[in-house]
Structure 1
């Protein structure tokens, strides 16, 4: 198959959708497909997977678009990119064009019809707008990043997508010996348990509940260092909360850490906590921690139970500080349980979310849709 992975931000920023495009391109190329990434003019190319080509085009940044709403600005930004990419996209003879944002459907739909390519839209959330259902109904293949996300789309517009999960690079995110130099650099003593959360620091990630849980355990005498990795608008509030709870020395905010460096942090972790209170459609950070063999506590909301799997982690109700505290304490007290969960979590991610597996499911959905199975 000759496939275009079309997404403006793949080459202009880092994030979940961008990682999906880079990793999926590499996985498909390894399976013998011809893959081209279409993105905006930017400085990010990463390690270009072997067998993958890249085409970039200028675009009008959304900050320069009149503020008639964030979705209007996104739409105009992507249309400006699409107009310049359109001619090449239409003449390259692709079998499939894969888009990651609904704003890209109009122009790529026209391009696909002119070139006889089939159009795929892979949803990663709920960016609904008037006309979403009409456009989604016109694509040849509709995917969602989880069963939960598929249900959201079905409820909104009556269309039921196939599920194509996000993936994890299980070679980068894998168990490794503890990075003792890192541990010493942070100031963690050998008798201190290490808990990690890695996410965007916004209110709906629920870190305020894990801060309170850690504070409760510290007051009970547990020696803990809690690393809250990430940046966001909520960081100052979390730091203030930590100070108010007298846990400043116990809760550390290292800031943003490169994805390639996260496995080193997970290597020194006894436990990873992801206390989201929102209906997240997937939870890639959770899967990455599990891939590193770290036992995970998260919440029973959105698509998270699909990520954690049965018996591969522990789920508590969202916004339940007591349940989170009790579960964290239980795991800190039971090394055998932590080791068992870490092992099963790694197995679950390798089985279900490694990139070659995601590419295999993609191929199956395409073959099934074309009547080849």
Structure 2
């Protein structure tokens, strides 16, 4: 199939576990939702593979997630894997088998955002070019898939220079397309005296350290986001909630933007190397300076005009940084995001990759593949 005047026909592969809708389960879901809508706004036809219940406005059509229940005999076998593993495997095996049959006649390009190994392993049989965005550090399953496929059938880009470098021992050629956000959806806020932390409430995101830093600096802290680890929330967050540490729940995007924009500083406390740092870009777009642990891709976004970077785990430095960041000009903070984190630049970059792959009969660069 070739691209016509009406634009490209694009299949976006997301998570089979989470619907692409607000409030988002995580940054990947938010990323795919915004990308899908932006591509449609440019006149392209988007088909989405994601969990049931996804926003119908995010795509023109959907590739259904198929479920599988093993027989009682199979489930009793000693080789039976956890049911979630089996559900993931079946969902991606089915969609990749379907795409290998219909892809050449239905789609110009497949854009893989899933974290599953099968889209990469089966890319060589598709008959249609694939672009894979690497949203995470290397995982054993994806490394295994690349060992099998040798990188054939897909070109790879990462969401930051840090993440690209982390994959180069497996994939020699990794481009960089930084995540972009819809700046209109994260308008400049008035600011205030309080601090804010937002994201998934899991141990590796480190919200408990934000609580400690806020207490040290003597400012009220607002928390928002999905409780992805109930035990962590119950043991490490809930006991500290009071009038100075408030949890607002899992807010939709508009409500979250209002909350972030009403605060003086956003605290970003990862206990792992963030591949990009979407919450950083979102906070800056609201004019809210960021104090963040210097990990992963975050230093590629934060500079002295929009925030402060501190040593990972250093609560005293975060508290001091919050006082410094609160004095920054909010117009300068937003200007940083406008210059480097807008969705327009991201979509332009992805469309460049799409057209280049479509114009390359052998999907050129993919044959550089794995190391």
Q: Distance in 1 between matches of 2:168 and 2:33?
A: 28
Structure 2 residue runs of 5 or longer lacking an equivalent are 1-7, 365-371
Q: Distance in 2 between matches of 1:86 and 1:170?
A: 37
Q: Provide Cα deviations, 1:320-341, integer angstroms capped at 9, x if missing partner.
A: 1111121123345x3xx2xx2x
1:160 aligned onto 2:173: yes
> What TM-score, normalized by structure 1, do the two folds share?
0.79
Aligned equivalent of 2:157, options 128, 143, 151: 143
Distance 1:109 1:145, change over 3 A: same
Aligned equivalent of 1:59, options 66, 80, 99: 66
Distance 1:46 1:322, change over 3 A: farther
Which residue of structure 2 lines up, in the alignment, with residue 18 of structure 1?
29
Which residue of structure 2 lines up, in the alignment, with residue 268 of structure 1?
262
Q: Provide Cα deviations, 1:185-222, integer angstroms capped at 9, x if missing partner.
A: xxxxxxx821100011112212222211222233xxxx
Q: Distance in 2 between matches of 1:201 and 1:154?
A: 30
Secondary structure of 2:57 counterpart: coil
Q: After the TM superposition, which residues 279-358 of structure 1 pair with which residues of structure 2 at under 5 Å, given as runs? A: 279-309=273-303, 311-332=305-326, 334=327, 337=328, 340=329, 342-358=330-346
Structure 1 residue runs of 5 or longer lacking an equivalent are 179-191, 219-223
Q: After the TM superposition, which residues 1-373 of structure 1 pair with which residues of structure 2 at under 5 Å, given as runs? A: 1-9=8-16, 12-13=19-20, 14=24, 15-32=26-43, 34-40=44-50, 42-48=52-58, 52-60=59-67, 66-67=80-81, 74-84=88-98, 86-92=100-106, 94-101=107-114, 102-111=117-126, 113=127, 117-125=128-136, 126-129=138-141, 130-135=144-149, 137-155=151-169, 157-177=170-190, 193-218=193-218, 224-230=219-225, 231-233=227-229, 234-239=232-237, 242=240, 248-309=242-303, 311-332=305-326, 334=327, 337=328, 340=329, 342-366=330-354
Secondary structure of 2:149 counterpart: helix
Q: Give 1:299 shift.
A: 1.3
Contact 1:10 1:19 in 2 (8 A): no
Q: How many residues align?
A: 334
Point out which structure has higher relative CO (alpha carbons under 8 A, 6+ apart). Answer: 2
Distance 1:149 1:41, change over 3 A: closer
Q: Give 1:100 shift.
A: 1.3
Q: Distance in 2 between matches of 1:311 and 1:136?
A: 43
- Give the CA RMSD over aligned residues: 3.0
Contact 1:8 1:78 in 2 (8 A): no
